[in-house]
Structure 1
Amino acid sequence: MADPSSYRPKPGQIPDSPGVYKFRDEHGRVIYVGKAKSLRQRLANYFQDLAGLHPRTRTMVTTAASVEWTVVTTEVEALQLEYTWIKEFDPRFNVKYRDDKSYPYLAVTLNEEFPRVQVMRGAKKKGVRYFGPYGHAWAIRETVDLLLRVFPVRTCSAGVFKRSAQIGRPCLLGYIGKCAAPCVGRISADEHHELAEEFCDFMAGRTGAYIRRLERGMQEAAEEMEYERAARLRDDIGALKRAMEKSAVVLADATDADLIAVAEDELEAAVQIFHVRGGRVRGQRGWVTDKVEAVTTGDLVEHALQQLYGEERGDAVPKEVLVPALPEPVDPVAQWLTGRRGSQVSLRIPQRGDKKDLMATVARNAQQALGLHKTKRASDLTTRSRALEEIAEALGLDSVPLRIECFDISHLQGDDVVASMVVFEDGLARKSEYRRFQIKTFQGQDDVRSMHEVIGRRFKQKAGEWTEEPADDVRVDDNGATASTVAAGPDDPEPDPMAGRPTDEDGRPKRFAYPPQLVVVDGGAPQVAAARRALDELGIDDVAVCGLAKRLEEVWLPEDDDPVVLPRSSEGLYLLQRVRDEAHRFALAYQRSKRTKRLKSSPLDTVAGLGDTRRQALLKHFGSLKKLRAATIDEICEVPGVGRKTAETVAAALAGAAPSAPAVNTATGEIIEDDGAPPAALSAERGQDR
């Protein structure tokens, strides 16, 4: 436990101006981000007598090892910078709202040439218009099915759209009038985009004018005795009204507003939001958070506003935001919301009438959500704490292993050897820290050598060395999606001596810079010995190692002849099993993906100097490998971009390739017919490999 006086800034060093500050721990990791109207006054509160601090604040300042700050011009800039840093560093002591479930949204991909209406979950993407969230996906599909009669926007996937364009026939929805069929040219891209915009306007609550326009059209058609068109418009009006009836009217004046309510106790808080558009409840969502810092209701509201509108489009911010308590001070938050929307936003507490009654309903939902969450999680907190304590006691650790990393090796009879690393912090999976490796030094069925290589590569940064990480080193975000990371190389900047860990240009510790308290390997004594030997070679002696053997679920320690046997009912054993099984799942998924890519190959892949562009041009020109193989060199030269020398190389490569199972187009995933081999042949071959 650090003494805050050891890193307290000197008197007069902190400026008396608005700004944002960061507390870092001994590893250089940002553990708390805050903003202040006066940095000097705010930071002085952290360096008072520890007995006068809130327990959670006291824990934060004793965990920290340094503090730094950035001066800004206004409090609005401080609010925006605080949100940006919280999203970037994910500090452990800041309020973090967790959705109590994964909410589906109705999304319109306006960023595409032909926008598509679909159900989406997870992180929001730029250029996509979202409506919701909804309680159930089926509610979205029912609404869309009613609206497609009036707004026949494309709903098919990219594969179906491309296939219909190739064969010149629309899908079923195009035949029954629930799609404008832009795939076959029934409507132009601009007309289809305009149709999608009208769909968005209707979903945003601008319904009255559109229905009145349809009613006028119906009357004009009837007067002109075009009864079929009048009947169609009548049915369209009925479909729109049925879609509107699915959301209840709560405010009579067609108000656009978001209502936020908070239910809290000393440890946790639940936030509920009702999205009201056009006087109707268009969506509802909820968050739950641990109160890891001393916060008021106004502070919780401010954090909720940051999370709710921080990454939204400006038009997602309504004219009114109704809250149970105002942030202090309120003016910067109101200015920030106004800047996000581009026009005035009213941030206030409802005092009377329908809005106050609706706020009471939102508050009841928040209270119920908090009660349900505490019922579910009460046992989880106790169980996780007991599991970590049992592991520490069984392995003889000085403290409970708050960060556990588990490694597993996967291969198929010595081919495509890969490894995985999963991370559990406080007994919970931290998917953003997951990594996967491709074994480079050798290929074969030697899990011991593979484990030694992976442990060495992972911990070389901790030992102060730099090595080139594998190109397929991948991290996984909290939604399970993967994103490539930048591998650390010999040209990276020197470590920051103050942080004691490798840092990047912004002063943030690089990935792999945070050591675990416990390393778990999937295997028995040989794998454990290999992992321990890799750490010893790097001079690392402050990381514990153990292995979990699958057969008898025995826990092996380095240099011990006998395993540690935990009771079957042990919570510690159950946690180790979860960690090991997650590592096995992650490694197996990566190994299968590499094997699938290897199977999806064709003789053209081996032609030197033939890139993807010309390879696809050849396949498109001839239609199949069979026809390409039968073509002459002169015929191959007719393909744009293919010279005679390349044509001769292609012809020679195809002449030497024995036709077998059909190849797969790596760009489209479609089977390329060759020598009449049916697609089933490839499926059967893959089934045998599995």
Structure 2
Amino acid sequence: RDQIAALEKVLEKQKISSTDLVDQDIIAMARGFDTTCLTVFFVREGNIIEREPFILSNTEGAERKEILAAFIKQFYDGASFIPKEIIVEEEIDEREAIEAWLSAKKGSRVKIIVPKRGEKRDLIEMVAENAMAYLEQKETFEERQKIRNEKAMEDLKRYLGLEKLPRRIEAFDISNTQGTESVASMVVFENGMPKKEDYRRFKIKTVEGPNDFESMKEVIFRRFKRGLEGDEKFKDLPDLVVIDGGKGQLRYALEALKELNLNHIPAIGLAKEFEHVFVEGKSDPIILPRDSEALYLLQRVRDEAHRFAVTYHRKLRSARNLKSVLEEIPSIGKVRRKALLDAFGSLENIKRASVEELSKVPGMNKKSAIAVYEFFHKA
């Protein structure tokens, strides 16, 4: 009840509108043990039009004014709009230097204000309360998620007969269209959460046509061979390998692991239709309880591998289709095609580009730009 009352109080205070018509951003923070929430309220023409929270990790030991100054520099470095006033709750490092930098970016004076009393002080306190409420809510959610993930890993260990908790799980999937643009994905979950910086993707090199089994063997072999060779991107080995597929895909993945003398790494296949789990040495699948955290975790991992593979495949297919269209344009050779792709990214963007924009692409000139423009704007 106390928490609900506190949230209602924050929501009630958010109804306040400033009477000052100067454009302002109001920035306040709340700190947890090792996490900081910075919330920005955007005030335009006297009205709060939007608010946005930002979570910073690993901030233990940093001073508040240091965090706030670093955030302001990073936030406004790429901002499309800088207000006339930035209101903060306390003094920050390098205040005058940051004001000068912001003023130069905006082209007019920008002030960083630390209010001591009055309406602006009320606003900054409101934003600080909002930041704290958001941080507490997020920390509570993350704690619940951490407990769920721990249970999921313990359940997986028990159901699959693993020697240790599967803290690092790697999942693999294959995607192609009738054997063309065949790619594979590798996604990583650590302690039940995605670790996106470790995601990897592969173009299938040795397999002709739509052969998911051989493609899976190739990608498993390449991934773990690179790890054994000391490649930094692949040096961490998983506690569990998840293959998107049934017995066939798993068998080929296991062959690759055996060829590399890594058959001590547990691997399973997760068949999509009935969510059956296949393991080496057992003809019948392991059927996990439908409501188990273990199954939910495996599904999240498998679905993420599928999403990542399909996204990469579509990107390559789109690039190939775009290339084939550009090949039809006179005077647009391989170098210019690549330059146009790099500059605009998609066929739609090239279609929308003006002659002037096309001519500014490296390697293009007025004549070739007109050729591209007229190709897409034929009467």
TM over 0.5: yes
- Per the alignment, residue 322 of structure 1 pairs with 88
**Structure 1, 352-361 or 591-600: larger mean CA deviation:** 591-600
CA RMSD of aligned residues (A): 4.3
- Per the alignment, residue 402 of structure 1 pairs with 167
- Per the alignment, residue 179 of structure 1 pairs with none
- Relative to structure 1, the CA distance from residue 602 to residue 413 in structure 2 (aligned partners, 3 Å threshold; closer, same or farther) is closer
- Per the alignment, residue 241 of structure 2 pairs with 519
Shift of 1:340: 4.8
- Per the alignment, residue 529 of structure 1 pairs with 251
Shift of 1:331: 3.8
Shift of 1:572: 1.2
Counterparts of 1:185-204 in structure 2, within 5 Å, are none
Shift of 1:441: 1.1
In 2, distance between residues paired with 1:603 and 1:318?
A: 48
1:258 corresponds, among 25, 41, 56, to: 25
- Relative to structure 1, the CA distance from residue 260 to residue 668 in structure 2 (aligned partners, 3 Å threshold; closer, same or farther) is farther
SS in 2 for 1:385: helix
1:287 corresponds, among 54, 62, 67, to: 54
SS in 1 for 2:238: coil
Q: Is the 8 A contact 2:66 2:93 kept in 1?
A: no
SS in 2 for 1:462: helix
Counterparts of 1:58-457 in structure 2, within 5 Å, are 250-252=18-20, 254-255=21-22, 257-266=24-33, 269-276=36-43, 280-281=47-48, 283-289=50-56, 293-294=60-61, 297-298=64-65, 300-302=67-69, 304-312=71-79, 316=82, 318-323=84-89, 325-326=90-91, 330-332=92-94, 335-336=97-98, 338-342=100-104, 349-374=114-139, 376-457=141-222
Output one character per residue of 1:169-221: Cα deviation in whole Å (capped at 9) or x when no partner.
Answer: xxxxxxxxxxxxxxxxxxxxxxxxxxxxxxxxxxxxxxxxxxxxxxxxxxxxx
- Relative to structure 1, the CA distance from residue 383 to residue 267 in structure 2 (aligned partners, 3 Å threshold; closer, same or farther) is farther
In 1, distance between residues paired with 2:18 and 2:154?
A: 51
1:382 is aligned with what amino acid?
Answer: I
- Per the alignment, residue 346 of structure 2 pairs with none
In 2, distance between residues paired with 1:551 and 1:567?
A: 15
Q: Higher relative CO (CA 8 A, sep ≥ 6), structure 1 or 2?
A: 2
- Per the alignment, residue 458 of structure 1 pairs with 223
Shift of 1:276: 3.8
SS in 1 for 2:208: coil
- Per the alignment, residue 492 of structure 1 pairs with none
In 2, distance between residues paired with 1:425 and 1:562?
A: 28
- Relative to structure 1, the CA distance from residue 461 to residue 669 in structure 2 (aligned partners, 3 Å threshold; closer, same or farther) is farther
Shift of 1:522: 0.9
Q: Is the 8 A contact 1:275 1:281 kept in 2?
A: yes
Counterparts of 1:618-629 in structure 2, within 5 Å, are none
TM-score by length of 2: 0.68
**Structure 1, 552-561 or 442-451: larger mean CA deviation:** 552-561
- Relative to structure 1, the CA distance from residue 276 to residue 557 in structure 2 (aligned partners, 3 Å threshold; closer, same or farther) is same
Q: Is the 8 A contact 1:414 1:445 kept in 2?
A: yes
2:216 is aligned with what amino acid?
Answer: M
SS in 2 for 1:365: helix
1:572 corresponds, among 250, 270, 294, to: 294
Q: Is the 8 A contact 1:251 1:355 kept in 2?
A: no
Output one character per residue of 1:308-358: Cα deviation in whole Å (capped at 9) or x when no partner.
Answer: 235447x737554422x44xxx44465355445449876564211121111
Q: Which has the larger radius of gyration?
A: 1
Structure 2, unaligned runs of 5 or more: 1-14, 338-366
Structure 1, unaligned runs of 5 or more: 1-246, 465-500, 503-508, 616-639, 642-664, 674-690
Aligned residues: 331
Shift of 1:671: 10
SS in 2 for 1:261: strand
User: Which one has the bigger helix percentage?
Assistant: 2
2:302 is aligned with what amino acid?
Answer: R
In 2, distance between residues paired with 1:601 and 1:366?
A: 48
- Relative to structure 1, the CA distance from residue 288 to residue 550 in structure 2 (aligned partners, 3 Å threshold; closer, same or farther) is same
In the alignment, is residue 547 of structure 1 matched against residue 269 of structure 2? yes
Q: Is the 8 A contact 1:460 1:538 kept in 2?
A: yes
